[in-house]
Amino acid sequence: MMVYAALLAMSFTAAAASLFFKKASSKGGLTKLIADKNFYIGGFLYVAAAFLNLYILRYLDYSVVMPAGSVTYVWTMFLSFFFLGEKISREKVLGVICIVVGAACVAMP
C-alpha cells in the first residue's frame, strides 16, 4: 500500500515541478530564469520525483510504474487550472481520460 501512495506522490511531485518550471520560464531570458527561485524549486521537485521513482521501481515492475505515471497528466490539468488560470476543455479532459485508460491497459498483467 505504501508503494502505491509513493506512486501517487511521485506523479504529483513531477506535475508540481512542471508548474514551477512554467512559472520560471515566463520571466524572460536565461539570466532571469537562472535567478528565479521557481526554477530551483522545480528542479528540486523533479529530483525528488526521480528518487521516489527509484524507490517504487524496487517494489513494482517497470511495466507497471511507467504507465501509472500517466496520472501526472491528471495532476497537471488541475494544477494548471488552479494556479495558472488555464481553461479545462472537454477535449483536454477526454484526452487525459484516454491517456490514463490506455496506460491502465498497458499496465495490466
Q: Is the pLDDT of residue 73 over 90?
A: yes
Determine the pLDDT at residue 106.
85
Give the model's pLDDT for residue 26: 85
For the chain, what are the domain ranges? 2-107
Tens-place pLDDT, residues 75-106 = 999 999 999 999 999 999 999 999 999 988 98
The cell numbers describing 22, all together, are: 512554467
19-63: pLDDT as tens digits: 999 999 987 888 898 999 999 999 999 999 999 999 999 999 998
For residue 27, the model assigns a pLDDT of 78
pLDDT number for residue 64: 87
Residue identified by cell 495558472 is 84
**pTM value surpassing 0.85:** yes
Q: Which residues contact 69 (CB under 8 A, 6 or more apart)?
A: 7, 10, 11, 14, 53, 103
Q: Where are the beta strands (DSSP E) in 1-107?
A: none
| pLDDT for residue 5 | 94
